């Protein structure tokens, strides 16, 4: 085949994606793991068996991705041969090449997720900034953006805490995104997000700037030990709110837990049972404490102090402009997307990929105030 064929061009461009797979080694590791799981004694230790099952799922997933790459490249080769024989398959060929490129880009992003907690589920909390209804509406738009992103990627989501805004939007929301590498992909979303638009709540149709903060922490499972002493927490119960009807709870089933040494507060009101809400709130607290300890380590690390990608909860990371022009821009990586509607509908992969690439390089160019989006 011609060395300038689309398949060969693509193979040269994305060889790094293939290099992360070693099918023979993966199959050998999977066979060894299956041997361990066949031992009945393994199942008497719940923590050990869960760890092995997660590892099996990871290996099976990597093998499936390698097989998908082979299948897609084979389809392109077949279309290329048909094109050489004079068949009118140019549109199909271009479509397959584009799809393979997007798939390989996703795999490349996966190779950059090597942190201890990257493979875990993510707990996402969204809070509006100052500005009342404007910011509360913006916070709800951000919440929807992340829920749509999760849906696009086949992740499941569960709302842990939700508080309606006074007129529109939300006062706060906390939800779990469950799926492989959910935290690793969403970790760069922590920070302040800014919206510029003509306000739908302003009769004078003036342009408003709204802010909302996002905090993402990993959902810690039993394989990572986080010690929480009983005398270091305060547990409050209250009557959960809702949208009315069957959602209104008549008992004090909602739970709020305050970790006194750090003043970290978590709450859960999704379940009708106070016991279940407490269990979920404790899991959320363990996740927040784990991220808190990681952040302390980041702060004392000279390398990360010098990096332009330090994650500070109060830092503005991205602007979404709907007026007077339309653009979403990440202020850390300079990634820009003109189709802001698509971004708000959940297509944040360009920003996730840009952040991971910059993190792998050890930093990203800071944006000077004069270059910021007004």
Q: Report domain extents, the chain.
A: 6-111, 122-216+310-368, 230-300
Cis peptide before 324 (omega within 30 of 0): yes
Q: Which helix (H) or strand (E) holds 339?
A: none
β strands within 231-373, DSSP E: 233-238, 254-259, 264-268, 316-321, 327-330, 336-337
Who's near 344: CB < 8 A, 6+ residues apart? 141, 144, 145, 320, 328
pTM: 0.65
More confident residue, 296 or 160: 160
**Three-class SS state of 192:** strand
- pLDDT per position as a tens digit, 316-370: 899 999 988 999 999 999 999 999 999 999 999 999 999 998 887 775 443 333 3
- pLDDT per position as a tens digit, 163-205: 998 889 999 999 999 988 899 999 999 999 999 999 888 878 8
DSSP alpha helix (H) spans, 45-86? 46-84
The topology (CATH level 3) of 6-111 is Methane Monooxygenase Hydroxylase; Chain G, domain 1 (1.20.58)
Q: What is the mean pLDDT of the chain?
A: 81
**Three-class SS state of 317:** strand
Instruction: Please say whether the structural domain 122-216+310-368 has been given the CATH code 3.30.70.1660.
Output: yes
Cα 307 to the chain's mean position, in Å? Answer: 21
Q: Distance between CA 177 and CA 13 in Å, rounded?
A: 32
Among the four given CATH numbers 3.40.50.12780, 3.40.50.300, 3.30.160.20, 3.60.15.10, the one describing domain 230-300 = 3.30.160.20
Give the pLDDT band of residue 234 (cuts 50, 70, 90).
very high
Q: Are 128 and 136 in contact (CB under 8 A)?
A: yes
- pLDDT per position as a tens digit, 283-324: 899 888 888 877 776 665 434 334 334 434 446 899 999 988
Other CB atoms within a 10 A radius of the CB of residue 53 amount to 13
Reference 20, options 82, 112, 101, 126; nearest CA is: 112
């Amino acid at each position: 085949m011609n060395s300038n064929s689309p398949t060969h061009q693509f193979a040269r461009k994305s060889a790094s994606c293939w290099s992360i797979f070693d099918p023979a080694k993966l199959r050998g590791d999977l066979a060894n793991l299956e041997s361990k799981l066949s031992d009945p004694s393994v199942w008497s230790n719940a923590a050990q068996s869960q760890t092995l099952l997660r590892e099996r799922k990871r290996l099976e997933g990597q093998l499936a991705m390698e097989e998908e790459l082979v299948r897609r490249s084979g389809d392109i080769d077949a279309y290329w041969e048909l094109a050489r024989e004079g068949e009118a398959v140019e549109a199909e060929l271009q479509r397959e090449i584009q799809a393979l490129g997007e798939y390989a880009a996703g795999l490349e992003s996966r190779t950059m997720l090597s942190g201890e907690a990257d493979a875990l589920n993510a707990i996402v909390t969204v809070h509006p900034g100052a500005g009342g209804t404007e910011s509360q509406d913006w916070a709800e738009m951000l919440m929807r953006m992340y829920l749509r992103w999760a849906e696009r990627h086949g992740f499941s989501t569960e709302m842990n805490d939700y508080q309606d805004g006074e007129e529109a939007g939300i006062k706060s929301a906390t939800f779990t995104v469950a799926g492989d590498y959910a935290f690793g992909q969403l970790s760069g979303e922590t920070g302040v997000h800014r919206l510029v638009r003509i306000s739908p709540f302003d009769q004078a149709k003036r342009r408003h700037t709204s802010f909302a903060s996002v905090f993402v922490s990993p959902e810690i499972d039993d394989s990572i030990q986080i010690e929480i002493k009983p005398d270091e927490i305060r547990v409050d119960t209250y009557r959960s709110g809702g949208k009315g009807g069957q959602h209104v709870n008549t008992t004090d089933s909602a739970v709020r837990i305050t970790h006194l040494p750090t003043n970290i507060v978590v709450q859960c009101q999704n379940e009708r049972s106070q016991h279940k809400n407490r269990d979920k709130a404790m899991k959320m607290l363990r996740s927040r404490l784990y991220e808190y300890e990681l952040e302390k380590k980041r702060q004392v690390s000279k390398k990360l102090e010098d990096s332009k990608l330090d994650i500070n909860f109060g830092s503005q990371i991205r602007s979404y402009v709907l007026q007077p022009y339309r653009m979403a821009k990440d202020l850390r990586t300079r990634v820009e997307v003109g189709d802001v509607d698509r971004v708000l509908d959940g297509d944040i992969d360009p920003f996730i990929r840009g952040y991971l690439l910059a993190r792998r390089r050890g930093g990203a160019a800071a944006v000077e105030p004069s270059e910021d989006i007004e």
